[in-house]
């Protein structure tokens, strides 16, 4: 896969950046971002792709982690010539984000979409609205990265953080949206290499085996 990532090396770096974010950032993240800068200079990666990967991470690691990540990135790549903000952030677009959020979320969850919405709504109705409008509509539905690339980054981040239930969903989401078994497995491995609790590696490995079997039964790979 190349896409907005520009090359196979670029795609791999996007995944590594997300894995480092999931593991808490810091020096490991700074080192990966420095390599990403070199790839941008070499034309193997678009700066926009890196920044979209960083932006979407706030859904999983919060604003503090992403602010620190952008501080490190700006230290490596100044904002001179930064493109204008993507049109989707202009003005009040709640209805549009709602519609796009439903579409993107359904693309990730497939037949489990209605069950997901019901389960999250039972936790709190506001969480359901925010998940669709904010998470899938405003953030994950943005241009700049295609959905398969976004899902691979999310897989790496969640694996590093050891978030099993969410990892299960996004492994399926990656496969469902054309990432392929090899690239999805590679994203998982990138995350597991930085897993905060290494004792959970076997648990998450077995999760992959179950997901892959299910995806094959459903024709997603």
Residue 46: predicted pLDDT: 94
Residue 214: predicted pLDDT: 94
Q: Which one, of 84, 202, 201, 221, lies nearest residue 143 by Cα?
A: 84
Residue 60 in this model has a pLDDT that exceeds 80: yes
pLDDT band for position 69 (cuts 50, 70, 90): very high
137 is written with which tokens?
């509509």
Q: How far is CA 28 from the centre of its chain?
A: 18
Say how far apart CA 59 and CA 79 lie, in whole Å.
Answer: 23
121-169 pLDDT, tens digit per residue, is 999 999 999 999 999 999 999 999 999 999 999 999 999 999 999 999 9
Residue 40 in this model has a pLDDT that exceeds 60: yes
pLDDT above 70 coverage of the chain, percent = 91
Query: Average per-residue pLDDT in the chain?
Result: 92
72-129 pLDDT, tens digit per residue, is 999 888 765 455 555 555 556 778 999 999 999 999 999 999 999 999 999 999 999 9
Contact indicator for 179, 107 with CB cutoff of 8 Å: no
């Amino acid at each position: 896969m190349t896409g907005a990532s520009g090359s196979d090396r670029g795609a791999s770096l996007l995944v590594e950046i997300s894995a480092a974010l999931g593991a808490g950032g810091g020096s490991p993240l700074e080192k990966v971002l420095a390599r990403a800068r070199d790839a941008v200079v070499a034309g193997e990666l678009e700066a926009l792709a890196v920044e979209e990967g960083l932006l979407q991470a706030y859904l999983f690691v919060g604003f503090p982690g992403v602010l620190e990540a952008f501080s490190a990135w700006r230290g490596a790549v100044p904002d001179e010539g930064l493109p204008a903000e993507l049109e989707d952030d202009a003005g009040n677009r709640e209805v549009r984000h709602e519609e796009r959020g439903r579409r993107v979320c359904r693309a990730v969850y497939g037949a489990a979409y209605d069950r997901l919405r019901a389960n999250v709504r039972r936790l709190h109705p506001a969480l359901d609205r925010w998940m669709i409008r904010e998470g899938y509509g405003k953030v994950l539905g943005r241009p700049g990265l295609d959905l398969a690339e976004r899902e691979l980054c999310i897989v790496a981040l969640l694996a590093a953080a050891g978030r099993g239930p969410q990892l299960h969903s996004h492994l399926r989401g990656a496969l469902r949206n054309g990432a392929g078994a090899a690239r999805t497995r590679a994203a998982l491995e990138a995350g597991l290499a930085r897993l905060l609790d290494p004792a959970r590696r076997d648990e998450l490995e077995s999760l992959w085996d179950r997901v892959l079997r299910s995806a094959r039964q459903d024709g997603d790979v």
